[in-house]
Each structure stands twice: as C-alpha cells, then as structure tokens.
Amino acid sequence: MYQSLPDRLCRNITAEEITAYEENGAHVLRGVLPIEWVEVMQEAVERILNNPGDASLEYTPKGNTGRYYGDFFIWRRDPAFKAFMRDSPMPEIAAQVMDSQCLNFFYDQLLVKEPNTVEPTPWHQDLSYWPVRGSQVISVWVPFDPANEESGVVVYVKGSHKWGKLYAPHTFGGKTGFADIYAKAGLEELPDIEAERDKHEILSWEMVPGDVLIHHPLTLHYASGNKSPTGRRRGLALRYLGDDATFDSRPGTFLENKKVMDTIPDITFDDGDRFSGDLFPRVWPR
C-alpha cells in the first residue's frame, strides 16, 4: 500500500547542512520530505489520536484546555508508521547526516499539541532517558502542521551537545509518576535554561510540512505549549541508531518505565551490545 510512495528525499542533504548539524547539534532541513508522506502520516496520526496505545500519555491534566498527547513505539501497531520509519526517505536522512553504513531503528515518539495547550515540553537531552551509548544516534523531528513560536516548535541550545554533560532526565508531564525512576540515574541537575535563556544562543526555525529538524541526543531542547487558538501542532520524532551505537545498562533509563516496557518485548542485551532484533530492526542499507 505504501510501496508506491517516494523512497527518496526531494533533494540531497548538503555538506553545509551536515556541518551545521555537527557544529550546532541541531539543524533544519527544508523541503526534503515528499508531501505524499506528509498526507499519509497526517491520516495515520488521527488514527492514533482516536485510538491511544497502551504506552501513550496525556500530559495535559484533566480540566486544562488543549491536549498534549505522547505515544511511543507506534510503528509496531500501525503499518503507516512502520512504512514511514523504514520505507520512506527518513532513514536516508539519518544515514547521510551521520555518515553511517548501517542503521537500526530505535523508536518513534508522537508529540501532539492541540490548540490552547499550556503544557510545554521541558528542557532536556534525549540521551538522559535512553539506554544508549554512542555518537551516531540521531532524532529526526517531523511536523505535520506548520510549527512556529506560537504553536511550539522545538528549540535548541546551540552547541550544547559539546558541553560534555549528561543531565538528569525530567518527567514531561508533572504527574506521569516517573520522577523516582529518573532519580536513580544520579545525574547532575539541569540548569534552569528557561530562566536563563539570554545566557545561551537559542536555535529556532519556523517550519512547514516537508521540512524536518535533526538533532543530536545530547543537544538541550524544549518546546513551548501550543498558544495558537486554532492551529494544531502534530510532531513525530524518529530515532535512529548508527554504526557506533550500543546498549548502555546504566540505571534510571526508560527501561525502568513500566508503562512503556509493558508494551514491548523484554530487552535482553548485555552492556555494549549492538541494538538488533525485531524490536530494533535494521533499516539501512535498505
């Protein structure tokens, strides 16, 4: 069904774009994703929103306006999400940017903020949550609506992936109950970046469907709530593992998060193993 959709990017990624990603820890790639995929995925996202998975989280407390919806490993239950992470041009982005011979898919994460959603995505580094070691690890964030400062595009602290720091993870929603898990990580507290924004150079790009963001797992990032009274902000992050990515058995990662782990098979890797198997499939070379 999805075989007829384009499997190549609309254009090649340039050397300048890759250098900007390496230097700054994040970059926008404009007009790379064929619109056919955007349309297929807009429909697929609606399916998920109307039929939330067992790992999903409603970050907006009951009684608040809007809706901040999060969901994980969706590709395992929805064929469009599976085709998108594997057969669309998305793996090509990850392989080109990281100059990686092989890619395994780590997981997908849907982050939808409906109009009038107050809750932000707090400042964080992705690696704080992940049982992963390595530098060839990348997130590709895909908007299915125009995303801007009002609707809550993802913003980054320029160069923070080079600070040599891994900060403690934080729960996205105040009441999701994962604070105790993350406390086990015993990592340094993240400074209050939001309060001291003016001390940093913040990278931010207005986006339209077809554009994507790429970011390094150590780059600090944040997204405001969706202040728009009418505009939705549907975003999907795809996480890819490249040549040097291996399993890290340290405590306090999402492996201890029962809500997510109950929806996927047990992970039995030893420290230092490469990610593999049905749960983390090889997606590159095709």
For ligand AKG, the binding residues in 224-283 under the rule CB under 6 A are: 235, 237
223 near ligand AKG, judged by CB under 6 A: yes
Angle between helices 15-24 and 90-98 (to 10 degrees): 70
* Nearest alpha-carbon partner for 148 in 70, 204, 67: 204
Minimum distance between the CB of residue 35 and ligand AKG, rounded to whole angstroms? 21
Minimum distance between the CB of residue 270 and ligand AKG, rounded to whole angstroms? 27
3-state helix, strand, coil in the chain (%, to 5): 25, 25, 50
| Main-chain phi, psi angles of 46, to 5 degrees | -60, -40
Q: Let me know: does 11 contact 31? Beta carbons within 8 Å.
A: yes
Q: Rounded to whole angstroms, how far apart are CA atoms 124 and 187?
A: 13
Minimum distance between the CB of residue 17 and ligand AKG, rounded to whole angstroms? 19
Q: Let me know: does 40 contact 47? Beta carbons within 8 Å.
A: no
Q: Rounded to whole angstroms, how far apart are CA atoms 45 and 91?
A: 20
Q: One symbol per residue from 34 to 63: x for binding ligand AKG (CB under 6 A), - otherwise; what is it?
A: ------------------------------
Considering the complex, state which of residue 156 and residue 280 has its C-beta at the smaller distance from ligand AKG. Answer: 156
Considering the complex, state which of residue 82 and residue 221 has its C-beta at the smaller distance from ligand AKG. Answer: 221
Q: How many residues bind to ligand AKG according to rule CB under 6 A?
A: 10
What DSSP line would sit under 206-248, residue for residue? -B-BTBEEEE-TTS-EEE--B--SS--EEEEEEEEE-TT-EE-
For ligand AKG, the binding residues in 67-126 under the rule CB under 6 A are: 111, 121, 126
Considering the complex, state which of residue 96 and residue 121 has its C-beta at the smaller distance from ligand AKG. Answer: 121
Minimum distance between the CB of residue 262 and ligand AKG, rounded to whole angstroms? 22
For ligand AKG, the binding residues in 127-156 under the rule CB under 6 A are: 139, 141, 154
209 near ligand AKG, judged by CB under 6 A: no
Residues forming the site for ligand AKG (CB under 6 A): 111, 121, 126, 139, 141, 154, 221, 223, 235, 237
